[in-house]
A and B are shown apart, each in its own frame.
Chain A
Amino acid sequence: MTASFLGEDYLEIRDLTVDFDGFKAVNGVDLTLLQGRLHFLIGPNGAGKTTLVDALTGLVPATGTAAFRNKDLLAMKSHQIVRAGVGRTFQTATVFEELSVLQNLDIAAGMHRRAHTALRARREAPVRVSEALETIGLANLANRSAGVLAHGQKQWLEVGMLLVQDAKVMFLDETVAGMSDAERSETGQLLQRIAPERTIVIIEHDMHFMRSFADFVTVMHSGEILAEGTVAEVQADERVQEVYMGTPTGAKRD
């Protein structure tokens, strides 16, 4: 974990609140996300984790500030936020099933191209796409249609799409859910490989996965931040234990 502020990216969230007709799904959250570490966001169902990410990626309106490179993400539209370097995945992998793995990645790389070049056909894979294919280990499936990929491979493809779009901040929403143990550890290693240059936030229910790979953990409960720290610090926190004792979510994998 390298947590120097100098020359490194960070996303600073202050007093972020999402109000659904009086129900505060996220309530006054202050959070600083730093480059170079795998930051896990955990908490029971309904804690507001996904809503927080939705707010940061323009899906739901929120109040407060979320400063990234002198821009306030909360005032931007989804596609502008992506262009500013903030990407995300969704709980259910949504790749373009009729297109090949390569085409999926190529489309993700497309926002860095000028519009008129889109009228030309792709001759060969751009370097960035080839590199991403290597990184996510799908190079030998490049021309397969994404619809036939296994569940885990689709999630890796999603991560690959974030890589080619050169997202500096990545929000991964339950990426390892439904994966086999082998796929989980491969995913964790993949994330560790790409972490140094990025700010990665992982929403996760899988405590085993979290313990194996987390550099830093934020626990949310009822829309607020309950605790923050290393895995050991968080696990030692009594309030965290209380929250997880009351719900089966935390216990299910122990």
Chain B
Amino acid sequence: MTAVVPETKVTDVTAADPPPEIIPARHRRSPVKDYGALVGIAVLAAILLLWAPSSLSSFRLSNLGRYCALALASMGIGLAWGRGGMLVLGQGVFFGLGAYAMAMHMKLEVAGPEGVPDFMTLYGDGTMPVWWEPFRSGTFTVFAIIFIPAVVSLLMGWAILKRRVKGAYFAILTQAMAVAFAVLLEATGKETGGFNGLNTFSTVFGYNLFDPEVKQNLYRVAAGLVIVFLLILWQLYRSRYGELLVATRDAEERIRFLGYDPANIKLVAFVTAAVMAAVGGAMFVPIVGIISPLDVGASASILLVAGVALGGRTSLFGPVLGAIAVGYGRSTLSESFPTQWTYFLGGLFVVVILLLPGGVASIGSKLAGLRKREVLT
């Protein structure tokens, strides 16, 4: 650097500038890619809403309804984990908040006006906690199913995400939430039914649960919500927010230097996922007829995530198909192998993670050789 002479500016143009060939259409998105998913949703809607009710026995249909309820929660996980990079291991909490809100209302329906749920007289002194009272109203219950998980997830998400907790720490924290929630339920037997949970319902919003037509309609609502959620996610994924969420997942620090607060972006996905889980929980109760700490605790939460991983967390359909597959596998395998079925599930999980990190939904694109790189987070 001692004997340097200032040089003149470099003027030679080494590569001729390519002629500007911008035509606006180039920058438009491909309609096939965009609307192809709608065809898939239509096909799924035809199967779930037209074929299944006319072809399946009422027992099988009710099972499928249960998988649909779980699929609602799984779709939220697909959003938060697949697109947002937040491994939510505690969705059982929000599933449970929705489920218990619904179950409390149904319990009060059984008890009748002014009545008290049976377990409170059985295990307690027959007085009902004040916070049960509003759940006598169906309108309040529907409101609570959405509002309570939204507020809880907003506060939790705010506290966790603003502190930039991510990766394994985020996963462990949410898992701990699920454990704590289940423990809390078990410890409050007189108020929440404890380990037994809430069960023995007879009506939902006045409809008799034993009426075959009501059962079928409950299934239709659950399956219909699956389709509605798919449409919501479809729009969310193709929107600018969807792109922003993926960008945040892949390079959170970089997003900060584009003028965004990544915590806010992730918070939207986290709260949406929580509400989706809560709606799933609320549908689960009338279809299955019971909600207990076992359905909302750590292992239930992990099973939800397993279904999403199996189906493909980043794809639109992966979480739905995964949830239905895990649910179906669980029922059929547990009929033939009551104790060993979890090993099958575990084995399948290992195979998918090793061979198909993008989940079953990625088989198609993998075969077509179009598979994008999937980064396991």
Chain A residues with a Cβ under 8 A of chain B: 57, 77-79, 82-83, 87-88, 90, 94-99, 102-104, 106-108, 110-111, 113, 117-125, 129-130, 133-134, 137, 139-140, 142-143, 145, 147, 161, 165, 181-182, 185-186, 188-189, 207-208, 211-213, 231-232, 235, 240-241, 244-245, 250-251, 254
Contacts and interface: CB of A to CB of B under 8 A. Distances in A.
Nearest to B18: A140
Contact of B2 (A77, A137, A140, A241): A241
A96 B1 contact: no
B1 A244 contact: yes
Given A79-B256, A122-B240, A143-B26, A254 B247 contact: no
Contacts of B27: 102, 124-125, 129-130, 142-143
Given A94-B254, A98-B250, A235-B1, A79 B240 contact: no
Contacts of A147: 373
B296 to A, nearest CB: 30
A120 B2 CA distance: 58
Contact of B22 (A57, A107, A122, A133): A133
A140 B15 contact: no
Nearest to B14: A182
Interface of A is mostly: helix
A231 B6 contact: yes
Given A79-B261, A119-B236, A125 B24 contact: yes
Interface string B1-20: 11010110110111101101
Interface string B124-160: 0000000000000000000000000000000000000
Interface string B345-377: 000000000000000000000000000110000
B24 A107 contact: no
Nearest to A101: B27
Contacts of A94: 251, 253-254
A245 B3 CA distance: 11
Interface residues of B, number: 45
B243 A211 contact: no
Given A83-B259, A94-B254, A123-B28, A110 B4 contact: no
A251 B257 contact: no
Interface string B81-125: 000000000000000000000000000000000000000000000
Contacts of B247: 96, 99, 103-104, 107
Contacts of A124: 24, 27-28
A82 B255 CA distance: 10
B240 A118 contact: yes
B1 A106 contact: no
A49 B40 CA distance: 53
B236 to A, nearest CB: 7
A235 B257 contact: no
B18 A82 contact: no
A118 B259 CA distance: 15
Given A83-B259, A140-B18, A250-B1, A97 B250 contact: yes
